[in-house]
Structure 1
C-alpha cells in the first residue's frame, strides 16, 4: 500500500515524527531489552466501531525502520468497521516494530477518530441535499492529514488555506467599511472565489451585488436560515456555519442550504481506540 496525498510529504512527516520520539538517544528500552535478531508478528485492531483512516501512513512508519517488514492490510481507509475488527497484520524486526508502534498508532487513532465523527455528521444529513464541509480549525502542521480524514468520513474539503479562496469575515468588513466595499475590493484584486460571511439577512443583497460567489450564513437559527436561502434564490451557494452540533445539523441542513460546515470535525474529534498486540516469533 502506498499512501499519496497532494501537498503532503509523507517521507518528511515520518522522519520528523520518528525523530521527535527517538531524540538523540534512540529507543533505549527496546535496545536494552529486545535482542537485535528478535522478530515479532502483530495485529492492529480497533476496539471501537470506527471509520478507518491513516493505515497507509502507519505502514510508512514501520517500513521506515524495517524496509523488509511484512504487512497485510485487512481493511481500507474510508471503510466502516465494527468493534473488534483487525485492521493490519505485521511481521518483522521486533525492535523496529516497537519503536514505530506509538507513532503509527497515534496517527491512525487520530485520523480514524476524525473520520468516525465525520461519518456520524454525514449520516445525520442524508436526504437533505446538503453537503458537509470541514474547516481550517486544524492542528498546525496536520491540516492535509486531518482534511484527508474528513474526506474518508464522507465530508467535502472546504478551502485548504488562506490562498485558495477569499473569505471575508466580520473583521475584514469592519476595516473595509462594509460588506459591499470588502467584496468589491476582493473582486477588483482579481479573486475568482469570494466567500462572504454574513450574520444578518440585510447583508445578503449588498454582498451579492458586489460580486460574492458564496455566502456563509453565520450562527443563524433554522427559521432565519430558511429565509436567507429563499432570499438568495439559488444565485450562489449558501453555507450554514457556527456552533453546529450533531443534534442540530439536520434541522439546519433541511433549510435548503447548499453546505453545512462543522469545525468540531477536526477540532474536537476523540481518538479512536485502536491497539497493536505483538507476539514473538520462533527464531
Structure 2
C-alpha cells in the first residue's frame, strides 16, 4: 500500500512532540552546536527490514539538512549485521531523532518479518495471507504498509472500506437474509459485501444471500474443506480465527482463498536495530 504523506507527517509530528517535549537536555548541554557526525543503522538479527522511508522522514523532520542514505531495498531477507542506512550531518540532530526513527524501524521490521514467515509457510498453496484491523491505534497505515513489505496482503483499512457483516450485526439484524437485504438496499453497487459465519449450517443461507466473500470464523481444517467443496468456487472464502504458524499450512491446504491473521500486527517482536556514530 502507498503511504499517505499527510497522515505520515501527522504521525511523526505527534511522535516528536511526545518524545522531545521542550528539548533534549542531554544532547543540547553536551554536544557542540556545530558538531558533525556520520552514523550507521544496522540490523542486529536476521529479518525483513521495513520503514526506511519513515525513518528518513523522521530525521528530515528534525533537521532537513541531514543526509539519509538507504543502502538496500525494503522487503529483502537480511542477515544480522547488515547495514540498512547511513545518516550524516548535525550530531545533535542525529541523536535527537535516533530513538524515534529506530522505534518505527524496529516495530515495522518485526511486522514485515512475521508476515514473511506466514507467507513462506503457505507458499505451496494458492491461499493469500492478509492482515486485520487489529493494529495499534493511529498507526494502522504504517503497520499495514509493513505487512505488504513482508509479502502479505492487506484486508480492509477501516470501517468505510467494505461491508463486513459480523456475528453481532447478525444478532441485531435477526438473520443473514435480513442483514444482507438491508445492506444491499442502502449501499452502492460498487461496494463489496463480506459475511462472517461460524457454523457450516449457515453456509447455504450465506450463498443464497449472494455476498461477495464469506468469512469462515474459527472453523477446523475439516470444516473448511467441507465449505470449500460446498461453495465450489462460487464466492471467495476467507478463513479467520486462531491462525498460528503451527496450523496455517493445514488451513491453506483446505483450499480457502484467503487467510486473515491478526497476529501479523498485534503479536509482534520488534527487530533489534541499532544506530552507531562512526
TM above 0.5, yes or no, is yes
Aligned length in residues: 276
Q: Deviations over 1:76-110 (max 9, x none)?
A: 22121111100001111000000000110000000
Kept in 2, the 8 Å contact 1:62–1:100? The answer is yes
Structure 1 residue 235, shift from structure 2 partner: 0.7
| Aligned position for 1:254 | 253
Question: Which residue in 1 is equivalent to 2:121?
Answer: 124
Are 1:209 and 2:212 counterparts? no
Give yes or no for contact 1:58–1:105 (8 Å, CA) kept in 2.
Answer: yes
Q: How does 1:86-97 map to 2 (within 5 A)?
A: 86-97=83-94
**Structure 1 residues without counterparts, runs of 5 or longer:** none
Q: Can you list the C-alpha shifts for 1:84-140, whole angstroms capped at 9, x where unaligned?
A: 100001111000000000110000000000000000000000021000010000000
CA distance in 2, matches of 1:248, 1:35: 56
Deviation at 1:7, TM superposition (A): 7.1
Indicate conservation of the 8 Å contact 2:37/2:88, yes or no.
Answer: yes
Tell me if the contact between 2:11 and 2:138 (Cα under 8 Å) persists in the aligned partners: no
CA distance in 2, matches of 1:37, 1:190: 60
Root-mean-square deviation (Å): 1.4
Partner Cα distance (1:271, 1:67) in 2: 28
In structure 2, the gaps of 5 or more residues are none
Q: Residue 177 of structure 1 is aligned with which of 166, 171, 174?
A: 174
TM-score using structure 1 length = 0.94
SS of the residue corresponding to residue 71 of structure 1 reads strand
Asked if structure 2 preserves the Cα contact closer than 8 Å seen for 1:184 and 1:211, the reply is: no
d(CA) in 2 for partners of 1:230, 1:7: 44
Please state if 1:136 is matched with 2:133.
yes
Asked if the contact 2:228–2:254 (Cα under 8 Å) also holds between the matched residues in 1, the reply is yes
2:155 aligns with 158
Whether the 8 Å CA contact 2:59–2:97 is kept in 1: the answer is: yes
Q: TM-score, normalised by structure 2?
A: 0.96
